[in-house]
């Protein structure tokens, strides 16, 4: 049994990965990393989209010198969530079956892209094959100490109650499923906020995530059509998790290394203050939940989280 961390386990011999997928990178002022990251991404993905979110540091000029990637430009900075939404829309309009998102700051490893694509294909494994004891013990020891998940299941099915386990809709990277020798030490406040928000997502929406904020993901485009994402900022992934739980998407996590190249990296303005950032995240969570309440009963992964029918 494996921990879903090698390609051979996800795509056995004799089984091909024929789905057309797009790798998308949201970019805002990444001139220091963009060329090196794109060179590496192109080794593992034939179709690459860069969403230039109003960069002012020369990123646009670097992109214009390349003919091996697609580029969509926001004339002004609209936000991380807006850049992701542009990528999702592009993938849908151009007939891609899957879209992989990866950050352009050098903190994700492009060689893992095929693993995410393979995991997003139909998986025909039973619960015993998914629930590898060693992998789950590792996840449990790492995550429960932070109060995120108590059953170790997050190494495979995250929101599988009432949905088809053979069809994966979202593959989400997790920096906390396993430890790598090369792992960085996460900045204390970022780790604290991640763990707190992840725990709240799990409790409120019956998810079993271990890392709510990792930007390395693969999505089935047909699943994204079920979502109505409106948040344009850094917290858009939180709105996505709430809606994904509501419509019962099947989510799995894959372990990825914890890499911090710039611990002082700015979120922008007041969001660099941890308490302000946490308040913003709570605002987005509450707003996303309120939007579902207005639609009727709030359901999560095939179950009722809270009866709002009165």
Mean pLDDT of the chain: 79
258 within some domain = yes
Are 187 and 281 within one domain? yes
49 within some domain = yes
Taking residues 105-123, report their average pLDDT: 86
Q: Using 50, 70 and 90 to split pLDDT, how confident is the model at 306?
A: low
- Please calculate the CA angle 45-80-92 and round it to the nearest 5 degrees: 50
CB contact at 8 A, 79 and 229: no
Cα 87 from Cα 218, distance rounded (Å)? 12
* Beta bridge partners of residue 72, listed in sequence order: 51
Are 97 and 200 within one domain? no
Are 289 and 144 within one domain? yes
Report the interhelical angle of 236-247 vs 274-295 (nearest 10°): 30
Are 94 and 113 within one domain? yes
Report how many domains make up the chain. Answer: 2
- pLDDT, tens digit (0-9, with 9 covering 90-100), for 254-297: 999 887 656 566 656 677 777 898 999 999 999 999 998 887 65
What burial letters (b/e) apply to 43-67, b meaning 16+ CB within 10 Å?
ebbebbbbbbbbbeeebbebbeebe
The residue ranking higher by pLDDT, 305 or 229, is 229
Are 133 and 147 within one domain? yes
> What percentage of the chain has pLDDT greater than the value 90?
57
- Please report, for the domain that includes residue 94, its CATH number: 3.90.550.10
Cα 268 from Cα 94, distance rounded (Å)? 32
Q: Give me the pLDDT at residue 147, please.
A: 33
- pLDDT, tens digit (0-9, with 9 covering 90-100), for 34-45: 999 999 999 999
Are 66 and 26 within one domain? yes
Q: Give me the pLDDT at residue 37, please.
A: 94
Structural domain including 253 reads 123-166+175-210+224-293
148 within some domain = yes
Cα 285 from Cα 241, distance rounded (Å)? 9
Is residue 217 over pLDDT 90? yes
Is residue 251 over pLDDT 90? yes
- pLDDT, tens digit (0-9, with 9 covering 90-100), for 128-164: 343 344 444 444 344 333 333 333 333 335 543 444 5
- pLDDT, tens digit (0-9, with 9 covering 90-100), for 158-207: 543 444 556 899 999 998 888 877 776 777 787 899 899 999 999 999 99
Are 94 and 130 within one domain? no
Q: Identify the helix (H) or strand (E) that includes residue 99.
A: strand 98-101
């Amino acid at each position: 049994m494996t921990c879903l961390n090698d390609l051979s386990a996800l795509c056995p011999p004799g089984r091909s990965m024929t789905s057309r997928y797009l790798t998308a990178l949201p970019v805002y002022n990444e001139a220091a990393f963009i060329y090196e990251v794109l060179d590496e991404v192109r080794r593992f993905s034939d179709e690459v989209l860069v969403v230039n979110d109003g960069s002012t540091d020369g990123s646009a000029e670097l992109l214009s010198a390349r003919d091996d990637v697609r580029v969509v430009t926001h004339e002004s900075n609209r936000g991380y969530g807006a850049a992701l939404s542009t990528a999702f829309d592009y993938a849908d309009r151009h007939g891609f079956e899957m879209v992989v998102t990866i950050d352009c700051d050098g903190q994700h490893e492009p060689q893992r892209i095929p693993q995410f694509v393979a995991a997003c294909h139909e998986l025909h494994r039973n619960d015993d094959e998914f629930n590898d004891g060693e992998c789950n013990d590792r996840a449990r020891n790492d995550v429960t100490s932070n109060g995120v998940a108590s059953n170790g299941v997050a190494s495979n099915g995250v929101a599988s109650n009432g949905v088809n386990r053979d069809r994966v809709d979202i593959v989400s990277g997790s920096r906390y499923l396993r430890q790598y020798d090369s792992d960085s030490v996460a900045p204390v406040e970022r780790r604290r906020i991640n763990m707190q928000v992840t725990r709240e997502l799990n409790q409120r929406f019956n998810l079993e995530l271990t890392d709510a904020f990792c930007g390395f993901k693969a999505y089935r485009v047909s699943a994204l059509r079920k979502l109505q994402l409106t948040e344009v900022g850094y917290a858009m992934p939180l709105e996505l998790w709430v809606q994904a739980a509501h419509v019962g998407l099947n989510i799995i996590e894959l372990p990825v290394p914890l890499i911090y190249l710039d611990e002082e990296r700015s979120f922008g303005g007041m969001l660099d203050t941890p308490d302000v950032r946490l308040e913003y995240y709570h605002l987005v969570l509450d707003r996303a939940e309120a939007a579902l309440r207005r639609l009727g009963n709030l359901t999560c992964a095939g179950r009722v989280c809270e009866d709002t029918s009165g």
